[in-house]
Amino acid sequence: MVFWTGGIVVVAAFAIAAIIVVSRPWAWSGTLKAAEYSQSQAVPGFDDTTHDVTDRADLTVLQRVLHDDGWHPGDTEHAASGCAGGIATHLRLTLTDGTKTKLTTYLCGGDNDALAKDITQIVSAWRTGTFIGSK
């Protein structure tokens, strides 16, 4: 009886692991069709308007960051809450299959979150017109 129960537990564990691997690959490797972005920060005169990106080179850099930093469609929040003086970045991504997903990151002073840092860097460069096309 103990052997049979242990076997069920092992089979169940493998089944759950297989479902996780199949339903959530380790890195997103899709293609973006477009991105809409805005940023906000509690700073007087901060430009928080929404902008669109459809340039292939810009989207390719964003895709690489999303892939390299382990993002998956459906991950809508990264670094779950803001902080005083932090910068919030809001993305609405259109994937090539037409689906849309949102991603919000918050970058606070001492954050070590690679995705929040990289997304903030790219979008800040887009927003200020200093984007040079590479990470």
Tokens of 77: 């929040």
| Beta strands across the sheet bearing 51-53 | 51-53, 32-41, 87-95, 100-107, 77-78
From first to last of its 135 residues, the chain has per-residue pLDDT tens of 555 555 564 444 454 544 444 444 456 778 999 999 999 998 899 889 999 999 999 999 999 999 999 998 888 877 656 677 789 999 999 998 899 999 999 998 776 789 999 999 999 999 988 876 544
* Whether 114 contacts 64, CB under 8 Å: no
| H/E element, 84 | none
* Global confidence as pTM: 0.73
Which letter, b or e, does each residue of 22-32 get, where b requires 16 or more Cβ atoms within 10 Å of its Cβ? Answer: eeeeeebeeeb
